[in-house]
Amino acid sequence: MKIRELGVSGSFEITPTQFGDDRGLFAEWYRFDVLEQAVGTALDLRQANLSVSKRGVLRGIHFADVPPGQAKYVTAVRGAVIDYVVDLRVGSPTFGQWDSVLLDDVDRRAVYLSEGLGHAFLSLADDTVVTYLVSDVYRPDREHGVNALDPEIGLELPIDLDEISLSPKDEEAPSLAEAIRTGILPTWVGTDDDASRATERQDGR
């Protein structure tokens, strides 16, 4: 298993070692101890989610109030997605920036993102199955979004806009500028050398 930090601090790409023969293959796609050593904190697993998406479905950008926030460990067990990590932590050195990883059923990579980071993905194939291991249960009153099509964020989408499908909730999500004005974004409380420390709500709650 190889782990590489992404361009957004607090996020990592995980590439498992696959062992194949004429029967099929085997791979460890999650190891709590290896992840903790690389990331510097344990993933306190509280819930596991699964989504099935058609080609062109764009989910996100989602994030949760911090504390406690919701760290995520995401992989595609069937099909393929472009997975996006967006820094929504006000004051972060990489605020407003994003990085992406191709998750598919060939290389079987995963992405880990710490609390306070925004998450989105674009499905590249019909019947794509994505799984998420998360550090907190779903709390609808503490979940938020930023519009994934906001030009200020500028996600690079390898599918034409007329092929992209969003949920009504994601379509109505605020722009990054609106999210800043309303004070819903997390605040960076770490340093350049302390990339994965917990964050707190911008409004202090």
- Tell me how many domains the chain contains: 1
Within-domain flag for 202: no
Query: Is 203 domain-assigned?
Result: no
Residue type, 110: A
pLDDT tens column, 83-126? 999 999 999 999 999 999 999 999 999 999 999 999 999 999 99
Catalytic (active site) residue 62: yes
132 is catalytic: yes
- Determine the structural domain holding residue 141 and report its residue range: 2-187
How many other CB atoms sit within 10 Å of the CB of residue 141? 5
- Distance separating alpha carbons of residues 198 and 67, to the nearest angstrom: 7
Band of the pLDDT at 189, cuts 50, 70, 90? Answer: confident
* Phi and psi torsions of 10, nearest 5°: 90, 5
Write out pLDDT tens, residues 15-70: 999 999 999 999 999 999 999 999 999 899 999 999 999 999 999 999 999 989 99
The answer, yes or no, to whether residue 202 has pLDDT greater than 50, is: no
* Mean of all residue pLDDT scores within the chain: 92
- Domain contains 199: no
> Which is the catalytic residue, given 30, 62, 73, 112?
62
CATH number at residue 180: 2.60.120.10
Strand (E) positions, the chain? 2-5, 11-15, 18-21, 24-27, 47-53, 58-64, 72-78, 80-87, 98-104, 110-113, 117-123, 128-134, 143-145, 186-187, 200-201
Neighbouring C-alpha atoms within 13 Å toward the C-beta of 103: 30
In a domain, 162, yes or no: yes
How many Cβ atoms are within 10 Å of 69's Cβ, its own excluded? 22
Q: Evaluate whether residue 105 is within a structural domain.
A: yes
Instruction: Look at residue 136 and tell me if it is in a domain.
Output: yes
pLDDT > 90 fraction of the chain, expressed in percent and rounded: 89
- Mean pLDDT, rounded, for 77-84: 98
pLDDT exceeding 70 applies to what percent of the chain? Answer: 92
Closest CA to 147 of 123, 176, 182: 176
Residue 193, in any domain of the structure:
no
Which member of 112, 132, 138, 144 is catalytic?
Answer: 132
pTM: 0.90
